[in-house]
Amino acid sequence: EVEKRHEGRYRKLSANIEKGEVWVRTGKTRWECRNCGWVYEGEKAPETCPACKHPKAFFEIEAQNF
């Protein structure tokens, strides 16, 4: 069960990478820098964080699970 879930997540990420959609979403999305916590709202993650200068790879969709 757990491994099936991991496989599904991996396949979805792999498809996003192949399509160039890892840091692009349709509609406004809140992107959070994992290094400093700065949040940006837009369809694409910024190329670099304006607060800490880390690259786009440090951005993820802001978690809303609190």
Task: Kindly state the percentage of the chain with pLDDT values over 70.
Answer: 98
CA distances for 5 relative to 9, 21, 25, angstroms: 6, 21, 22
Q: Mean pLDDT throughout 45-53?
A: 98
Mean pLDDT of all residues in the chain? Answer: 94
| 5-37 pLDDT, tens digit each | 999 999 999 998 898 888 999 899 999 999 999
- CATH code 2.20.28.10 for 23-66: yes
* Confidence tier at 64 by pLDDT (50, 70, 90): confident
H helix count then E strand count, the chain: 1, 3
Contact 64, 29 (CB under 8 A): no
Q: What DSSP line would sit under 8-28, residue for residue?
A: HHHHHHHHHHHHT-TTEEEEE
Residue type present at position 42: G
For residue 65, pLDDT over 90 is answered with no
pLDDT of 21 reads: 87
